[in-house]
Amino acid sequence: MEVKLNLSESLEDYLEAIFDLIKENGSARVTDIANRLHIAASSVNQGLKKLNQEGLVSQEKYGPIELTNAGYRAAEKIRCKHQIIYLFLNRTLGVSEKKADNDACGIEHALSEESFEKMVDYLIKNNYLAEQNCAFKLKENKEEKKMTAEQIMLDKISVGSKAKILKVQSKGRLKRKLMDMGLNRGALVEVKGKAPMGDPIEIRVRGYSLSLRQNEAAEILVKEV
Amino acid sequence: MEVKLNLSESLEDYLEAIFDLIKENGSARVTDIANRLHIAASSVNQGLKKLNQEGLVSQEKYGPIELTNAGYRAAEKIRCKHQIIYLFLNRTLGVSEKKADNDACGIEHALSEESFEKMVDYLIKNNYLAEQNCAFKLKENKEEKKMTAEQIMLDKISVGSKAKILKVQSKGRLKRKLMDMGLNRGALVEVKGKAPMGDPIEIRVRGYSLSLRQNEAAEILVKEV
DNA sequence: GTATATTTTTAGGTTAACCTAAAAACGGGG
DNA sequence: CCCCGTTTTTAGGTTAACCTAAAAATATAC
């Protein structure tokens, strides 16, 4: 079931930037978004609040910016539209890469579903676009498949899985200890083993092996990768 | 010399609506613009003030809305962009007329000069557009030619010319008299003759012949046609 | 462990583009 | 000439999207 949410152009831009930054860097930070869109960080902050209310982004104060499933789908759709318009202008009309990309930014907010699909058909017909590409995925999206990994505490990760640290929740001494062990935001951890009662947990991070108590691991918010 | 004025999307829409209404009805009224754009008349009024400041529209309180030369050129450019995008979507991609027109409305504000020209070239190459058409005129526009008739008082119109009444400036008795003679806004007048000292002036309006004193004619704002 | 730098958030603006309601001006009919 | 409906303008909002400056939280460096 397609829900049509009515995002403003700005919010679409924010969403798209978040999507891109997560693809590129693994995470989207307020300042990164602000730099990309050439606006103040405080403006991004306000935008995030709205996206949060719309249920497209999950954001806690000072916490990592993550897309919800709905947010991921919405962002992908916008990104895809952008890409199609870009390809169309650049490949079919021969518009320079820079201008084509720029124009795509503006047009993506205005183009109807119908025109978009006609562009896709045209690109496929002229072999500028393979069918399994971004554009085509859109049509398949109706089957609800899991597109964003869940946020979960490290002690809940099963042995053998890898995850990326989103946030260390605890405060003070404990937090300090965890971060000194290299458990910073963005770090990749692999759960190597768990003792019978789930305590301690053996993990590998940045090339080191560590042993964590369950209550310590329970303070670390991660996303499976 | 191309001056690039930076109009907001709204102001471009206003300008385009004025342009279209003048083509269609011979005049653009605040309420007509408001209806076309589905906004309140007071909003149009504010917009007109801004266009006036930019020197694109000549507007006096309660007076007729006329485009200046600069305004006419700007409006024509926007209209033309709209038309080209419409043709492109509809003819090349087969987008329905309604959606194509709708999308053109949104896209026209975002499309760069480069993309626009590439679209024009494409349309010409595929015979969807004759060279003397709107798009092509744009390229010629560099030579400053007179595109809008001047606003002038009726007593300054030369014998044999036709003009359209924009406004009757006087008040009270005289205004009443003039309007009772059929000299309303929108009426077409033809100057049939002038006495040696320019007084009286013989005109023909709505099938009648009238004789006006010069001071009376000097109260009537017209536009040569 | 504390100081310093960076990031995020809050507080408090501004501007453009809309709105409604009411006042002012206009235009036509008796 | 005066009245009345329509049009235009003014007055006084609201909202979204930005801003700057400063406070609060977090991250890093010594």
* DSSP track, A118-164: HHHHHHHHTTSS-TTSHHHHHHHTTS----SPPEEEGGGSPTT-EEE
pLDDT at B181: 78
From chain A, pick out residues whose CB is under 8 angstroms from the CB of B90. none
Are A142 and A156 in the same domain?
A: no
CATH number at residue A15: 1.10.10.10
Mean per-residue pLDDT, B98-124: 94
Domain hosting residue B123, numbered range: 1-148
Are A202 and A155 in contact by the 8 Å Cβ rule? The answer is no
Are A106 and B105 an interchain contact pair (Cβ–Cβ within 8 Å)? no
Residues A121, A213 share a domain: no
Average pLDDT, chain A: 84
Q: What is the pLDDT of residue B147?
A: 52
**Tens digits of per-residue pLDDT, A148-169?**
667 778 788 888 888 888 777 7
The DSSP element (H or E) to which A107 belongs, if any, is helix A97-107
Same domain, A30 and A74: yes
Average pLDDT score over residue span A44-60: 94
Structure tokens belonging to residue B23: 């083509």
Counting the structural domains of chain A, the total is 2
What CATH number did the domain enclosing B198 receive?
Answer: 2.30.30.90
A48 CB closer than 7 A to any strand C atom: yes
Residues A120 and A165 grouped into a single domain: no
Of A147 and B23, more confident: B23
Task: Determine which helix (DSSP H) or strand (DSSP E) holds A82, and give its type and residue range.
Answer: helix A69-87
> Is residue B29 domain-shared with residue B53, that is, in the same domain?
yes
pLDDT value at A143 more than 60? no
Query: Which residue of A lies nearest to B123 if distances are taken between CA atoms?
Result: A93
What percent of chain B stands above pLDDT 90?
46
Q: Are residues A188 and A139 in the same domain?
A: no
Q: Decide: B59 and B65 in contact? Cβ < 8 Å.
A: yes
Work out the mean pLDDT of chain B and round it to a whole number. 85
Q: For residues A100 and A84, give the distance between their C-alpha atoms in angstroms, rounded to a whole number.
A: 10
Same domain? For A18 and A91 the reply is yes
The whole-number pLDDT of residue A91 equals 93
- In a shared domain, residues A144 and A82: yes
Same domain, B215 and B203: yes
pLDDT exceeds 50 at position A146: no
- Residue where one domain finishes, among candidates B111, B130, B148: B148
Query: What's the rounded mean pLDDT across residues A43-49?
Result: 97
Q: Which of A9-23, A134-148, B60-74, B142-156 is the least confident region?
A: A134-148
CB of A114 less than 8 A from some CB of B: yes
Residues A161 and A148: their CA atoms lie apart, in Å, by 16
Query: What band does A2 get if pLDDT is binned at 50, 70 and 90?
Result: low
DSSP state of A167: E
Q: Which residues of chain B neighbour A92 with C-beta distances below 8 Å?
A: 122
Biggest CA-to-CA distance, chain B: 64
> What per-residue string of b and e applies to A82-93 under the rule 16 or more CB within 10 Å gives b?
bbbbbbbbbebb
- Could you tell me which residues come within 8 angstroms of residue A3 by beta carbon, excluding any fewer than 6 positions away? A70
| H-only helix segments in chain B | 9-25, 30-37, 41-53, 69-87, 97-107, 113-125, 134-140, 172-180, 214-217
pLDDT of residue A131: 65
